[in-house]
Amino acid sequence: MFKHIQMSQYGDHMYLIQLVAILALSFSSSLALAYDLSINSFGSIVGGEILTGNPDANTGNVQGPLYVADYTNGSVYTKKQPLIRPESRVGLQATASDIISGLSAVVQGIVRADPGQANLEWAYLSYQANAKITVQAGRKRIPIFFYSEFQDVGFAYAWVRPPGELYGWDVTNYDGGMIRYQDRFGPVSLNSSLFAGAGFNPKARNFKLWYPYDVTIEWNNIRGADAELNYDWLTTRFLLLRSTNRYNAADGQDQGWSDYGLIAGHDTKQDIMGWALNTDFGHFFTLGEVNLALHYGGPTSYRSFSSSIGAGYRIGKWSPLVNYSKYRETGTSPDYNAWHYDCVGLTLRYDVTDNSDFKLQYNKLRDMSAAGPFLGNTQMLSASYDFSI
Amino acid sequence: MNFCSLILTNGRIYIVNSLHSSFIAALAVLLSLLSISVPAVADDIAIIANSKFPLSTISAEDVSNLYLGKVRELTGAGVVKVVDQSASSAIKGQFAQKVLNKTLSQLNAYWSVRIFTGRGVPPVGLSDERTTKEWIANNPEGIGYVLAKNVDKSVKVLLIVP
């Protein structure tokens, strides 16, 4: 079924945790272990076309006109022609519940049209210690943003894609552990977690936006906490994360990194703070999120601030949505090539069935980078068919 | 690469060959789609439990929190199991709207988030109300729901949702 399986290459002990999770799912009846196995799938067929763009724009390794839809996976539309490969994907998740009382195992794989290979995204064990505490260990998504953990499940959110001004980071998943605490205080429910581990991204696809050679990225000593509160129509989430990052290029090709605040093979510190605030009044809803990332300890320190705010209205099966998002960098060095751009989006979602939807989305991006154009002023039209089974 | 859009509508699949015409076609199809309205069934819904269930009543808020996985236990009852109805049952849509304040699409999106973030799985959906009452008879710590008119002496009614 899979053309290629990409496994973690980071540390034998982390690889062993994933292997244990996979083995837990494949336990046969001969071991006399009864468990409930559920299989869930999701997918998105996404297409897009650049309506207008800047041929002089250049991200470093991609010439305009261009539109970066997903920084994390390096999904970029180029040329003024329709493309379907950059973002289309299908995922499969298997969950074995109650392997032993309270113990479950989860495995998730995704096939992305670009680059056309399968990846093992998640593989972890989950133990429900009691009604409020769950302990998890293995490989999971780093929960930086509100939609990080389900960013690939297009059916679960209102846009064709979460705003790229916010949703883009170097390492997607981490190997480690998480303690989740769930409780209720009157009308307010709390879902919080503490997590720690390390992430590894070989041949990082996002770096291909900037450099022609392969770059491997390590996020070491990841430790973070998040807390999500829900009261009826209001949901808010806070996040703190700290890590020590290291970047290495093939054959030592690390020239030009100093303006990115990096030295190949040296550690760079990273602090991330995030806050999301969503409201849902049944018909009318709003989506808001801000994120501040600090990068320091390298030759050049810089910070990035990103934000997104949107408002939508449900009319039967239709959900129109308007969204504004922004990204801005500030470097400590006077010659730091800071990126600065914003984007307006108009989305129309139609719930085709109870498990699928169709979306049309128009985006207008404005590149205000002083040293640019990196992205160039761009208008983009996208459509997606999303499902979750 | 030419863009081919795959549109599923009314059970038939349209494949068009160019992005521009596909967008126009998609928009035309969507605009021409008629929401099929199923006449709302105004039946009351009964939240039921085994006669040995420790509580005699339950609030709609507690029912909602249990069925959305926000809580797993109730004061005076400990851990509470919940059983759902299958997606194809008419009563599930009513229950989702009246008790959970969500359409089935919103409910599925809600559980998609929880499933794919590892925060939980939805309650098991049983095929019909008879099976639900059989499950209740075998699970003194569980609750379920049926149409109020189908309640019988085999179950205890905790709440009626009009």
Least CA distance to B1: which residue of chain A? A83
Tokens of A340: 């600065």
Three-class HEC string of A212-227: CCCEEEEEEEEEEEEE
Segments forming the whole domain that contains residue B55: 45-161
Residue B59 and residue B30 share a domain: no
Task: Out of A83, A155, A385, name the one closest to residue B112 (CB).
Answer: A155
DSSP secondary structure of A332-370: SSTT----EEEEEEEEEEEEEETTEEEEEEEEEEEE--T
**pLDDT of A165-218, one tens digit each?**
999 888 999 999 999 999 989 889 999 999 999 999 988 888 888 888 888 899
- Cα separation, A105 vs A97, in Å, equals 7
Whole-model pTM: value is 0.83
> Is A298 part of a structural domain of the chain?
yes
> Is A24 part of a structural domain of the chain?
no
**pLDDT-derived band at B42, boundaries 50, 70, 90:** low
Residue B24 and residue B91 share a domain: no
Give burial (CB, 10 Å; 0-12/13-18/19+) of A77.
buried
> Is A121 part of a structural domain of the chain?
no
Task: Quote the number of domains for chain B.
Answer: 2
Name A50's bridge partners.
A380
Which residues 80-109 of chain B have a CB within 8 Å of chain A?
Answer: 87, 101, 103-105, 108-109
Handedness of CA B78, B52, B54, B111 (dihedral sign): positive
Where are the alpha helices (H) located in chain A, listed in sequence order?
Answer: 12-25
> Is A145 part of a structural domain of the chain?
yes
Residue B76 and residue B17 share a domain: no
Q: What is the pLDDT of residue A13?
A: 41
Residue B21 and residue B57 share a domain: no
Say whether A40 and B101 touch across the interface (CB within 8 A).
no
What is the distance in angstroms between the CA of the first residue and the CA of the last residue of chain A?
Answer: 19
Q: Which of B9, B106, B116, B119 to mutate against chain A (most A CBs within 10 Å)?
A: B116
- Cα separation, B20 vs A56, in Å, equals 25
Continuous segment of H or E residues that includes residue A243: strand A234-249
Cα angle for residues B151, B154, B160 (degrees, 5° grid): 35
**Average pLDDT over every residue of A124-129:** 94
Residue B13 and residue B67 share a domain: no
Cα angle for residues A174, A176, A182 (degrees, 5° grid): 100
Residue B94 and residue B54 share a domain: yes
Name A177's bridge partners.
A137, A196
> Is A100 part of a structural domain of the chain?
no
Residue B69 and residue B5 share a domain: no
What is the distance in angstroms between the CA of the first residue and the CA of the last residue of chain B?
Answer: 55
Continuous segment of H or E residues that includes residue B160: strand B156-161
Q: What is the pLDDT of residue A251?
A: 64
Q: Which of B105, B121, B124 to mutate against chain A (most A CBs within 10 Å)?
A: B105
Say whether A383 and B79 touch across the interface (CB within 8 A).
no
Tokens of A242: 């700290």
Closest-CA residue to A144 (of A301, A295, A292, A331)? A292
Least confident of A124-133, A340-349, B38-47, B103-112: B38-47
Asked whether residue B3 carries a pLDDT value surpassing 90, the answer given is no
Q: What is the pLDDT of residue A82?
A: 79
Task: Out of B3, B71, B116, name the one closest to residue A153 (CB).
Answer: B116
Q: Hunting for tokens 């703190």 — which residue is that?
A: A240
**pLDDT-derived band at A258, boundaries 50, 70, 90:** low
ipTM associated with this complex: 0.79
Residue B4 and residue B75 share a domain: no
The amino acid at residue A363 is: N
Asked whether residue B57 carries a pLDDT value surpassing 90, the answer given is yes
Task: Quote the number of domains for chain A.
Answer: 1
Segments forming the whole domain that contains residue A312: 44-84+128-388
Residue B120 and residue B64 share a domain: yes
Residue B148 and residue B75 share a domain: yes
Residue B30 and residue B54 share a domain: no
> Is A89 part of a structural domain of the chain?
no
Q: Which residues of chain B have a CB within 8 Å of the CB of A40?
A: 115-116
- Cα separation, A381 vs B41, in Å, equals 41
Q: Are strands A284-296 and A215-231 parallel, antiparallel or unpaired?
A: unpaired
